[in-house]
Amino acid sequence: MRRERSLDLIDAQAGGDVSRVVTAGIEPIPGTTALEKARYLQREGDGLRRLLLSEPYGDPAMSVDLIVEPGHPEAQAGYIIMEAMGYPLYSGSNTICVATVLLQSGMIEMTEGLQDVVLESPAGLARVSARNVDGRVESITTQGEPAYVAERGLSVDVPDYGRVEFDLVWSGAYYAMIHAADHGFDLTPDEQIALTAFGDAFVRAARPGLRQEHPALGDVGPLPFAHFMGRVRTLENGKVESRSATYVHPGVICRSPTGTGTSARLALMAGQGDLGPGDTLETISPRGNRFVGTVLGEAMVGDFPAWHSTITGGARLLAHSRVTVDLDDPLVDSSDLEKLLSP
């Protein structure tokens, strides 16, 4: 018998970053919460992530989001995020794409105007406000869990690059926050190859001994992200913007400025007194794509002072597809896929 399975996907992009949203074809994942289900996949079902983010099925620069039943009574849907680095517990661009897909596909009924949606990510609830116009989601504003500065003033010697100073911030994953100008970067499109090489060398050097614990979520794994911060500019209209770039280990520079990278920047700036409740920062990726972050107010995560914030951006649907997975194909690692894929 031919061992073929199929997956239904809806691809979307937010700020240029592509999210492949898996809407059907997966058996129910063990666990009650999105976090429990994500950790099951990480232990027992990582073949799904590798399949959809690797040739010939996908590309490491994409993300994958699996829609699951939520465990929290407020949530209308749950989702598990998969990227080249593993399983981030929260992501702004992925949340923007997932909310847009759920509404425009009819999996969550869309209403005209502003619509509130609650999703359950592995990090906790994501509270979403969608602006819907003529049956299309025009923008998404999402609030995830609060971000906090875990450690300031860290440094590491990076081979071929020298001493690199950084701050460590949690915003759904740990980010190493690096001032780009200190290393000669303006965060322009022509620097992406050099940024990738620098990011790769930095993350490999910085990981040993670096904090991996979150007060509520436990062990969240080794450092996955480096965020390069450009200079802050205040425009004539009073708005504040900054070029930004996020490196995802291994080997990816995001096309968007990233939602969690922007949230981490907001927490860092708010903690220094550079931003306060109601203030915004528009981040601009090397490719010119933009997200707007807004500081909401203070919080606590364990013993850490933290900051609530929102990220606003838009997503566009790219494709509806059904992917055939041949479990006998030598390019498919079927060892942990067969039990996940619906017959």
Alpha carbons 201 and 172: distance in angstroms, whole number: 23
Alpha carbons 164 and 156: distance in angstroms, whole number: 5
Catalytic site residue from 19, 63, 91, 93 = 91
Q: Which residues pair with 115 in a beta bridge?
A: 130
* DSSP percent split of the chain into helix, strand, coil, nearest 5: 20, 45, 35
No. of helices (H) and no. of strands (E), the chain: 5, 19
Tell me the three state secondary structure of residue 40: helix
CB atoms closer than 10 angstroms to residue 107:
16
Task: Report the candidate in 138, 92, 91, 84 with the shortest Cα–Cα distance to residue 112.
Answer: 138
Tell me the three state secondary structure of residue 331: coil
Output the CA angle 192-51-99, nearest 5 degrees. 70
Alpha carbons 88 and 72: distance in angstroms, whole number: 19
The helix-helix angle for 259-271 and 92-104 (nearest 10°) equals 130
Alpha carbons 142 and 90: distance in angstroms, whole number: 11
Residues comprising the chain, all counted: 343
Residue 309 bears catalytic tag? no
The catalytic residue positions are: 91
